[in-house]
Amino acid sequence: MPKKTSPKPRSRQPRAARQAVHDAPKLAQIASELAEIRADMQRLEQAGLAAHPGIHPSYQLSARNLLHYLALRSRDPRALQAQLRRLGLSSLGRCEAHALASIEAVTAVVAQLSGRRPEPAPTTQTRVNIGQGERVLERHADALLGPARAERRVRILVTMPDQAADEPRLVEGWIQRGMDLARINCAHGNPTEWERTAANVRRAAKRAGRACRIFMDLAGPKLRTGPVAAGPAVLKLRPLRDALGAVVAPTRVWLTNASAPSSAPPGCAGALPVDAAWLAALAPADEIGFHDARNAARQLIVKQRTRGGAVCELRATSYFTPGIVLRKRGTRGAAGACRIGEFAARPGEILLSRGDHIVLTRSLEPGRGPQLDQRGRVLTPARIGCTLPAVFEHARVGESVWLDDGKIGGRIVAASGEQLEIEVTSARAAGCKLRADKGINLPDTELALPAFTAKDQADLPFVVEHADMVALSFVHSPSDVQELETRLAELGRPELGIVLKIETRRAFERLPQLLLASMQSPCDGVMIARGDLAVECGFERLAEVQEEILWICEAAHVPVIWATQVLETLAREGRPSRAEITDAAMSERAECVMLNKGPHIDQALTVLDDILRRMQGHQRKKSAMLRPLGLARRPIV
């Protein structure tokens, strides 16, 4: 029989030690890469602080942490992250608020696994400890935005509509529903209206027993389309029809005294000025015949008479123009007839489709559509003015241009000191109508424009006197921030909170430099102006861009305002889209969320307040909060 062999004796080494021996080369590689990252952090910290010697004491640690985080994100550590995850260690995915401390903590654990003694960490004066960064950010958010509510960490900022200047009870209702800050936009209105609005906010907050800070935007450089020649004076009215074309509900028309017109009652689709004596003779059930602008025979039926005019019903689509004769049925001669008086022309518009050309000019003469020959061929393209002449000094052929919040896109095919010819490359299939005072974006063009304009200089003394913080619109460079800081110091308010509105690609690309400039003030923040930013960076990149801004600002311990189109459909129309609800839930990662104006702002405030309260139990910045789930408590079997 073969001789039995005894089994080999088992190693007495602990399993963790055997694994460490097995992983020794891998651990050495990880330790080496972590050491390189730490060295990069320290080098960038020294260089960055030397280049920005005026950092305010309240931001000294934050500036260091920002520089540490930038050093980390200048590399591609994804392979390192995967190795750390396989070892069950932190993968550095939540290190924004305490970058160097995270690297040192992981380095120490790797050294222990390798059987080495970790290097001593530097003193706490040179870096933000784990857990400290979150507290610093909260302190900065409280200083700028005011203390958070006990039940909701994220504040709500509401843009004040015109009626806020005259209706303090309206403002008080918003504060009770959850408004924490009131925004006054200096691009609209005047100091008299702003002062009444600010006073109403202060009084309403006092009555409600809550703090409500006032946020004011400086207008910044105005890059918009010029006027457009008015369209014809024509009013098109049509009834509501079903799928088969049958009239479901007639449209209502308001006939008013041409010499003393009065506002149309609710439900009327349009108003027509007529002779006062002829109007006075009308009575309910009277029939009024006429031929519209297309010579189509039509009829109005008087439904209601009031002191100001007559409400009539119309059951067929009609085009009204000044001079059309209205005749009361059953009458003869001039006494029974009346001509429609003059009314306002339609706002001018230029219809643009893909492949069309439009010329952007220095001249602010009314714009117009293309001029055509008898066969419909274009003789000269459409033209429209631009409110900012400096555009023509910097824009070049091949650069992109976006009009009206990105609805129309194109590229420059010819450029001179007086005009730019643009070929339309992006528009709806049916075309898009371009009107006056619409935004122009040139994301490829390096515009050497100061963000601080003459209007801003004139408005700033009012802002300093009435606001708790000031927003710098269309900021491009650190010099813009420094000029605002200088002006605030001259006006005796160097401590006033500064908010940088990131709304251009240039501002996004220079965000770290802008933050280091704003850290020379004791109180600052960032607004993600997602409307212009989406146009400038591309709609498909917006999600990525806003994530990067959130990361960089958390590393700098700078509070963020999540702005533009939050619950916009709900605020305008009274019912949100599903995408808007998801977007509002994602906004919980900021320190403040902005709602814009709308007739249903009360409802939008209530919904946003509820969403933010609920999400606070599930999410904090990028970290999931493991709140007990009702689903998990239900029996499985």
Number of independent structural domains in the chain: 4
Report how far residue 412's alpha carbon sits from residue 498's, in angstroms, rounded to the nearest whole number: 36
Q: What is the CATH number of the domain that holds 419?
A: 2.40.33.10
DSSP state of 381: -
Q: Is residue 5 part of a domain?
A: no
Rounded Cα–Cα distance for residues 509 and 512 (Å) = 8
Q: How far is CA 164 from the centre of its chain?
A: 21
Q: Are residues 317 and 266 in the same domain?
A: yes
| 562 and 463 co-located in one domain | yes
- The CATH number of whichever domain residue 279 belongs to comes to 2.40.33
User: How many Cβ atoms are within 10 Å of 452's Cβ, its own excluded?
Assistant: 24
Would 70 be classed as within a structural domain? Answer: yes
CA distance 163 to 467: 19
Q: Please list, in sequence order, all residues whose beta carbon lies within 8 angstroms of the beta carbon of residue 627, skipping any fewer than 6 positions away.
A: 617, 618
Assess whether 187 and 261 both reside in one domain: no
Tell whether 530 and 589 lie within a shared domain.
yes
Residue 475, both tokens: 């900021």
> Which domain range does residue 300 map to?
235-339
Question: Cα–Cα distances in Å, from 49 out to 56, 73, 568?
Answer: 12, 18, 42
Q: If the chain, 637 residues long, is cut into consecutive pieces of 10 residues, what is the mean pLDDT of each piece? A: 55 50 78 94 95 94 96 93 90 93 93 78 70 94 95 96 91 95 95 96 93 96 92 94 92 95 91 95 96 97 93 97 95 90 92 96 94 89 93 94 94 95 95 94 86 92 97 94 96 96 94 96 96 91 94 97 94 92 94 94 95 87 67 66
Give me 476's structure tokens: 């491009």
Domain boundary residue, one of 441, 464, 498: 441
Indicate whether 135 belongs to any domain. no
CB-CB contact of 101 with 130 (8 Å): yes
190 and 249 part of one domain: no
SS3 115: coil
Q: Please report the pLDDT score of residue 390 as a whole number.
A: 87
Both structure tokens of 542: 């917006």
Instruction: Say if residue 421 is in the same domain as residue 484.
Output: no
Burial of 373 (C-beta count, 10 Å sphere; 0-12/13-18/19+)? exposed
Considering the domain architecture, whether residues 609 and 541 belong to the same structural domain is answered as: yes
- Check whether residue 526 and residue 587 sit in a common domain: yes
* Residue 128 · residue 104 · CB < 8 Å: no
Last residue of some domain: 401, 423, 441?
Answer: 441
pTM comes to: 0.83
Q: How far apart are CA 337 and CA 285, in angstroms?
A: 17
Assigned domain for 318 exists? yes
- Residues 573, 434: one domain? no
Residues 425 and 312 reside in one and the same domain: no
The answer to whether position 481 is within a domain reads: yes
The DSSP element (H or E) to which 484 belongs, if any, is helix 478-490
Whether 634 is in a domain gets the answer no
Q: Determine, yes or no, domain membership for 140.
A: no
272 with 296, same domain? yes
Q: What is the CATH number for 602?
A: 3.20.20.60
Domain identity same for 415 and 458: no
Task: State which of 411, 441, 471 marks the end of a domain.
Answer: 441
Does the residue 121 lie in any domain?
yes
